[in-house]
Structure 1
Amino acid sequence: MAHRFLSSANRFSARFAFIFTVSLSCTYLCYSIIFCRGTIMTNQGYEGKRCPPSKNAGGKKLLGKLDNCASLEVRSALDESAAQRGSNDLRDQSKAPGSFGGHWTEAKLRNMSVAQKYGNKKLPNALIVGVKKGGTRAVLEFIRIHPDVRALGTEPHFFDRNYDRGLDWYRGLMPRTLDSQITLEKTPSYFVTREAPRRIAGMSPETKLIVVVRNPVTRAISDYTQTLSKKPDIPTFEELAFKNRSLGLVDTSWNAIRIGMYILHLENWLQYFRLSQMHFVSGERLITDPAGEMGRVQDFLGLKRIITDKHFYFNRTKGFPCLKKPESSSQPRCLGKSKGRTHVQIDQEVIEQLVEFYRPFNIKFYETVGQDFKWD
């Protein structure tokens, strides 16, 4: 009896061992299949990430020539370098040992050409800060033909209206520039904005500032003429310019008058910038001698004098100089229809009263900047 019981137990144990072994084998096989499939899928996913479409069309063409495509790590590093660090950082990386190793030196050097061709977005080195109706658009258009200058065509109004958007937003507006180029923007309202000097100095205390000034009486009439073209129902120039004309009381709260009190605004700027960081362009000489004025602007910016007499001709219809026809265009480059408007006729007695009003402000301005603009 005991023998039968032991024999039955042995058969049960053998069957259990067999079933357990088969189950374990099946389980191992399933896990092996799943593991291998996951590895394959992971590798496929990694391959898919190795060569993502470049955000930069020009960069895509150049990077597409790399043998067998760069790895994800290298591609990400190259894209980041091209957009943010520029060619100098890449040169340093190519010399120093790192995770890329010498194998990727050629790829990094190729990316240097991307940075050199397209450049990086940088905060401005120089600003045209004023003044309205002084000739700032002309200076901007003239200096933009210099190969070492890249300028924003529109007025961003960052330091007066959009400062809360932050410097990253401001930088994003700028054109791409190479290390050898100057980034420039123009917003003439900066000169009369009290917070602008402090904010610009906060960005960079070494920023170069260009101020285009003009006879304040002529400037005020030009300012009024522009406003009148948009709002035909505004009061007359005389009504806006004077609190009491018979007593000669000028209304300095009117912006068209206040802008021309240059010395008051300049004193605010000199709290944050040295006078040597500011260059004053004569709006009158910009018309009579554009090459001479632009020569001095180029000197101030540390540029070679490339813009010369050969670039200008005088447009008698508009009454100011224009750029001669570029090789890439069939038309000369002149400022738009909004420039060169015929000024509103103002009574000579009114003009003389304003000349007397501005005289002490002008004299102090001349003495401060060391330049006589001969507005009297």
Structure 2
Amino acid sequence: MANLLSYVLFLALRAYAAPPEYIQRWPDGFTPAPGDPSNDSVTPSLIPPPGSSKHPPHSIIIGVRKGGTRALLEMLDIHPEVAAAATEVHFFDWDENYSKGFDWYREQMPYSYPTQITIEKTPGYFTSQVAPARIHAMNSSIRLLLILRDPTERVISDYTQVYFNRLENHKPVQAIENMLVKNGALNTRYKAIQRSLYDVHMRNWLQHFPLEQIHIVDGDTLIHDPLPELQRVERFLDLPPRIEASNFYFNQTKGFYCIRSDGHERCLHESKGRPHPPVNSNVLRQLRSYLRQHNRNFYRLIGRTFNWQ
């Protein structure tokens, strides 16, 4: 009897604790006794927390890949009025997902309470030709978050991620210089370089959304001093200020800030912050020279400059 009461109390606590996405309940008419072998064979159904529901996102982190999207989402998730999607949905940039419809998309969102806003992030949206129009068709007034970093560093980080992924899957790898240079010239068709042409992609977004609906987060600053950037995001999303300096601590081993919230501490996945490979200085100079004019074009588009080399 005591074990059964403890189990009921556990369910009650799960139902009203924050912020659970699901609670467990046994199917109607079935209540296994403590020690009953049925406990090992019956899977409890999953129900949402009372008073919660799923909604299309109120805001989307649209990119950029290797710009700090995961850090931004996890840091925003500290805020009690934010419900963050757990995975990258790739709804607006992948045809096979978009064809499933908006109801499917909504089901990929987390359960949230009426006081919360839902945020999802998919870095591939920023460089997608079709994502801006599709997002506009869903919600023309949605607020978009774009986090960027030095585009040259982003190229190298992009390569680094692919390099380690291929190693883990026992696939052949190439030196970064072999990817950046073809036939003695900079390989501008290399996807990692294409993703760093921020001006090209931004023009596509500005055809569908006014600049006031796109808040640009400085990814380089977010890593070194997260609070000011997050406070700006709070204001952009009309969220009450809840994120504080005490929510972050610098991890000397990892070399970046980690998160402290609700008595728990966590850092980004070990795949984040990997050391970049050294790059031949002549190749690096070519890459920076090629991106320089694109950076200037981007600055003119958004009326703002960054400290990019």
Q: TM-score, normalised by structure 1?
A: 0.66
- Which protein has the bigger strand share? 2
Counterpart in 2 of 1:208? 143
Counterpart in 2 of 1:315? 251
Question: What CA deviation, in whole Å up to 9, does each residue of 1:325-346 have, x standing for no partner?
Answer: 532x3xx110011111111111
Asked if the contact 1:121–1:174 (Cα under 8 Å) also holds between the matched residues in 2, the reply is yes
Deviation for aligned residue 1:320: 1.2
- Partners of 1:217 and 1:155 lie apart in 2 by 24
Of residues 86, 92, 114, the one that matches 1:153 is 86
Q: How does 1:337-376 map to 2 (within 5 A)?
A: 337-376=270-309
Of residues 104, 109, 115, the one that matches 1:180 is 115
Deviation for aligned residue 1:366: 1.3
Deviation for aligned residue 1:348: 2.0
Counterpart in 2 of 1:242? 181
- Partners of 1:316 and 1:357 lie apart in 2 by 35
Q: Structure 1 residues 214-223 or 234-243, which shifts more? A: 234-243
Whichever residue aligns with residue 158 of structure 1, its letter is: F
- Partners of 2:208 and 2:258 lie apart in 1 by 35
Q: How does 1:192-271 map to 2 (within 5 A)?
A: 192-232=127-167, 233-245=172-184, 249-271=185-207
- Partners of 1:345 and 1:125 lie apart in 2 by 41
Whichever residue aligns with residue 274 of structure 1, its letter is: P
Question: What CA deviation, in whole Å up to 9, does each residue of 1:302-347 have, x standing for no partner?
Answer: 11121121111111221211112532x3xx1100111111111112
Residue identity over aligned pairs, in percent, reads 43
Q: Secondary structure at the match of 2:258?
A: strand
- Partners of 2:124 and 2:299 lie apart in 1 by 21
Whichever residue aligns with residue 72 of structure 2, its letter is: V
User: Which 5+ residue runs of structure 1 have no aligned equivalent?
Assistant: 1-56, 62-82, 84-113
2:241 paired with 1:305: yes
- Partners of 2:254 and 2:65 lie apart in 1 by 19
Counterpart in 2 of 1:163? 98
Q: Say if 1:311 and 1:234 are closer, same or farther in 2 by CA, change over 3 A.
A: same
Asked if the contact 2:160–2:277 (Cα under 8 Å) also holds between the matched residues in 1, the reply is yes
Query: What is the root-mean-square deviation in Å for CA atoms of aligned residues?
Result: 2.1
Whichever residue aligns with residue 362 of structure 1, its letter is: N
Structure with the greater relative contact order (CA < 8 A, sep ≥ 6): 1 or 2? Answer: 2
Q: Say if 1:302 and 1:325 are closer, same or farther in 2 by CA, change over 3 A.
A: closer
Deviation for aligned residue 1:250: 2.4
- Partners of 1:277 and 1:295 lie apart in 2 by 17
Asked if the contact 2:78–2:261 (Cα under 8 Å) also holds between the matched residues in 1, the reply is no
Whichever residue aligns with residue 127 of structure 2, its letter is: V
- Which protein has the bigger helix share? 1
Asked if the contact 1:138–1:335 (Cα under 8 Å) also holds between the matched residues in 2, the reply is yes
Asked if the contact 1:118–1:176 (Cα under 8 Å) also holds between the matched residues in 2, the reply is no
Q: TM-score, normalised by structure 2?
A: 0.80
Aligned length: 262
Q: Secondary structure at the match of 2:65?
A: coil
Counterpart in 2 of 1:43? none
Whichever residue aligns with residue 131 of structure 2, its letter is: A
Whichever residue aligns with residue 148 of structure 1, its letter is: E
